[in-house]
Structure 1
Amino acid sequence: MQANRITFFYVLLMTLVVVSSNILVQYPLSGTLFGISLGDLLTYGAFTYPVAFLVTDLTNRQFGPKIARRVVVAGFAVAVLFSFAVASPRIAIASGSAFLAGQLLDISVFNKLRRQTWWRAPLIASLIGSALDTLMFFSFAFAPFFSFFGPNDDFAIGSAPIFGVLAAEAPRWISWALGDFTVKVLVGIVMLLPYGALMSVLKPMPGVEKTA
């Protein structure tokens, strides 16, 4: 019964993170920093989405990959429904597809590394999962090639300096993707702090590490 309650809590957390990220990813940062237009570099969703990997990794550590996949699928289903209500269909489709692929990859990598040094599994799994998630999401959401998912965003496909400073220019969504992944890497490292702090509280259930 307690395990079911904890699992339900993980699903709620996952849903909250994904839905909020789907809203925030539609809003580029405002203002400038050192003359760099932050709107060309990042969206607000970059700061919230990496928390989803923390939720997945904690679930995987405590209950194993089977339950972690259930949390991901449940969170995916609920989040997609909410996403269609709060975001454009194209954003919802891109987010759902990228979320599912990235999280399932995270679970697989985490599971292979779970017996190594405590920080390796959550860090490496989240970075690899984030890379796939970023590639899929920004391509599906903004690349003109995938316009069959929905209309193009003129601001997103407009030209902008890569990383907001480099002489080379590319569609703004590519700069967003690079900036987004950079932030995910940084946040992924920061997420090791709560992960490490919770390790002594959220211990693996009996048999999880043996059967993983």
Structure 2
Amino acid sequence: MRAFDSAYTLRGFLMGLVAMTLLVTASNILVQYPINDFLTFGALTYPACFLVTDLCTRALGAQQARRVVLAGFAVAVLLSLVLATPRIALASGAAFLTAQLLDVFIFDRLRRAAWWQAPLLSSFLASAIDTALFFGLAFWGTTVPWVTLGLGDYGVKVALALVMLIPFRALIALIPDRQAVRS
């Protein structure tokens, strides 16, 4: 059982790391391209990071999910320094790390509630922190309409958090809850 647990954990960690790295890097590139005064293309990809974090927390436990967040943070910031502007990369890193660790904390505390409460509430709260930190750090003092972009971004994150409940519900049938297994 121990060998299976280690292989399961390593596979889950690597899958989470790859997904997180791809999503954050793509979002850091896409946030530089506005759709309109209220939205960038990055708003359409980044919310999936919360789904990845919630699935990692469920499948691997909070400690391993935090490791996925930390490793994803390091790799994504390095890639973003090359593929996006340094200011975007650093703002993204600070916002990502703070918001994703908050997401793990909230999800882990609410995981025994109704199936939808932990992913929805953790995403709503962590997205608010992420949005405020990212847009404030990335665009404050520039001509970019960062307040309106931030409001539009948060609105999309809330809407996508609701939509992400569908794949979350489908995937939890396939992914055992780490806390339930240990109890």
TM over 0.5: yes
Matching residue of 1:70: 67
Structure with the larger helix share: 2
Tell whether the 8 Å contact from 2:16 to 2:68 is kept in structure 1 after alignment.
yes
Q: CA RMSD in A?
A: 1.2
Matching residue of 1:204: 177
* Alpha-carbon distance in structure 2 between the residues aligned to 1:99 and 1:88: 16
Q: Say which of 85, 100, 103 aligns to 2:82.
A: 85
Quickly say closer, same or farther: Cα 1:119–1:209, change in 2 above 3 A: farther
Tell whether the 8 Å contact from 1:62 to 1:208 is kept in structure 2 after alignment.
no
Matching residue of 1:46: 43
Runs of 4+ that moved beyond 4 A: 206-209
Q: Say which of 133, 143, 146 aligns to 2:130.
A: 133
1:142 aligns with 2:139: yes
> Runs of 5+ in structure 1 lacking a partner?
30-38, 145-151, 157-171
* Alpha-carbon distance in structure 1 between the residues aligned to 2:51 and 2:92: 17
Displacement, 1:63?
1.2
**Max radius of gyration: which structure?**
1
Displacement, 1:207?
5.6
Matching residue of 1:6: 12
1:19 aligns with 2:25: yes
In the superposition, the TM-score normalised over structure 2's length comes to 0.94
Tell whether the 8 Å contact from 2:120 to 2:165 is kept in structure 1 after alignment.
yes
* Alpha-carbon distance in structure 2 between the residues aligned to 1:199 and 1:81: 31
Quickly say closer, same or farther: Cα 1:54–1:40, change in 2 above 3 A: same
> Runs of 5+ in structure 2 lacking a partner?
1-6
Quickly say closer, same or farther: Cα 1:209–1:180, change in 2 above 3 A: farther
* Alpha-carbon distance in structure 2 between the residues aligned to 1:124 and 1:78: 27
Q: How many residue pairs align between the two structures?
A: 177
Matching residue of 2:158: 185
One-letter amino acid of the counterpart of residue 72, structure 1? V
Matching residue of 2:112: 115
Q: How does 1:50-61 map to 2 (within 5 A)?
A: 50-61=47-58
Matching residue of 2:4: none
* Alpha-carbon distance in structure 2 between the residues aligned to 1:112 and 1:209: 16
* Alpha-carbon distance in structure 2 between the residues aligned to 1:204 and 1:185: 25
Quickly say closer, same or farther: Cα 1:6–1:209, change in 2 above 3 A: same
One-letter amino acid of the counterpart of residue 128, structure 1? L
Query: Secondary structure of 2:34's match?
Result: coil
Q: Deviations over 1:102-151 (max 9, x none)?
A: 0001111111110000000000001100000000000000111xxxxxxx
Query: Secondary structure of 1:13's match?
Result: helix
Tell whether the 8 Å contact from 2:12 to 2:59 is kept in structure 1 after alignment.
no
Displacement, 1:78?
0.2
* Alpha-carbon distance in structure 1 between the residues aligned to 2:62 and 2:181: 9
Tell whether the 8 Å contact from 2:12 to 2:60 is kept in structure 1 after alignment.
no
Identity across the alignment (%): 51
